Amino acid sequence: MRMALALAQAAADAGEVPVGAVVVDESTGEVVSTGANGPVAAHDPTAHAEIVAMRAAAVATGNYRLTGLTLYVTLEPCAMCAGAISHARIGRVVWAADDPKGGAVLHGPKLFEQPTLHHRPSTEGGLLAEEAAAMLRGFFRERRSSRPVSQA
């Protein structure tokens, strides 16, 4: 998760929402791939950290099924990312900060609890949650304070 937090900081430094992700093969301890949020720079609304990391993991493993791998991410996955996690057959998802507004694992649609889902990874939330949440709060606080004030 420390590596994911460093990736989140790099995303923030690039003007992206600070979310980072790391795919790990727990059987070997090997980092398979990494990803940082990048929708703005990539002009790609799907370039969330989880998607970027899973795409790279699929290339690295030569398989679109990422069975048995663990995805560490600094924020609870959204519905798009949770769906992709299920399709990729990720074995385990560990996230730092919960996302009551946009999350889809513990919040919102609770995607992994849906009976129509073909694969449900094991999940764990809260690992280094305060660090990730503080980074997100700081990022959005800075963005709000740097907006020009409208003169009506």
Tokens of 101: 């507004």
What pTM value is reported for the model?
0.94
Per-residue pLDDT, 54: 98
The single residue listed with the structure tokens 């073909």 is: 118
Q: Beta 20-25 vs 70-75: how paired, if at all?
A: antiparallel
List of residues 6+ apart from 89 with CB closer than 8 A: 65, 66, 67, 119, 121
Question: Has 48 been labeled as part of a binding site?
Answer: yes
81 known ligand binder: yes
Catalytic residues: 50
If phi > 0 it is left, if psi is from -120 to 50 it is alpha, else beta; for residue 23 that is beta
pLDDT per residue of the chain (152 residues) written in tens, 0 to 9:
999 999 999 999 999 999 999 999 999 999 999 999 999 999 999 999 999 999 999 999 999 999 999 999 999 999 999 999 999 999 999 999 999 999 999 999 999 999 999 999 999 999 999 999 999 999 999 998 876 655 55
**C-alpha gyration radius of the chain:** 16
